[in-house]
Chains A and B, each alone.
Chain A
Amino acid sequence: MVSTAYKYTQKNCDRATFTLFTGLCKGCGLCMEKCPVKCLEWSNDLGVYGTPTIIPKDVESCTGCGMCQLVCPDCAIVIEKIKK
Chain B
Amino acid sequence: MALAPNMPKAWRAETKPHKFCPGCGHGLVLKAVGECIDELGIQDRIVFGCDIGCSLLSWDFFNTDAIQTHHGRTTPVLTGVKRARPDRICIAYMGDGGGYAIGSQHLVNAASRNEKVTVILVNNCNYGMTGGQMAPTTLPGMKTETSPYGRDVEATGNPTQGPEMVSAITPEGAYVARGTTANLRQLKKMIKKALETQLNGTGFSFVEALSACPTNWRTNAKDTWNFVEKEMTQYFKVGELKVPGEKEGK
A interface with B by C-beta (< 8 Å):
2-6, 8, 19, 21, 23-24, 26-30, 32-34, 48-49, 51, 69-71, 73-76, 78
Contact = CB atoms under 8 A, between A and B. Distances in A.
B28 A71 contact: yes
B222 A33 contact: yes
Given A33-B221, A73-B20, A2 B13 contact: yes
Given A19-B3, A21-B5, A75-B6, A28 B22 contact: yes
B107 to A, nearest CB: 25
B5 A76 contact: yes
Most buried by B among A8, A28, A70: A28
B212 to A, nearest CB: 8
A3 to B, nearest CB: 8
A75 B34 CA distance: 12
B155 interface: no
Contacts, number: 69
Nearest to B221: A29
Contact of B18 (A21, A71, A74): A74
Q: Which 8 A-B pairs have the closest CB atoms?
A: A73-B27, A28-B23, A29-B221, A26-B22, A28-B22, A75-B7, A4-B13, A33-B221
Main secondary structure on A side of the interface with B = loop
A21 B3 CA distance: 9
A29 B23 contact: yes
Most buried by A among B3, B26, B214, B225: B3
B41 interface: no
Interface string B17-34: 110111111111001000
Contacts of A73: 20, 23-28, 31
A57 B158 CA distance: 45
Contacts of B13: 2, 4
B171 to A, nearest CB: 36
Nearest to A51: B22
Nearest to A10: B3
B224 interface: yes
Contacts of B108: none
10 contacts: A2-B14, A3-B2, A4-B14, A28-B22, A29-B220, A30-B224, A34-B225, A71-B184, A75-B7, A75-B16
Nearest to B14: A2
Given A23-B17, A30-B225, A70 B184 contact: yes
Contact of A24 (B17, B31, B214): B17
Most buried by B among A4, A23, A27: A4
Contacts of B21: 26
Nearest to B226: A33
A50 to B, nearest CB: 11
Interface string B114-129: 0000000000000000
Nearest to A67: B184
Contacts of A3: 2
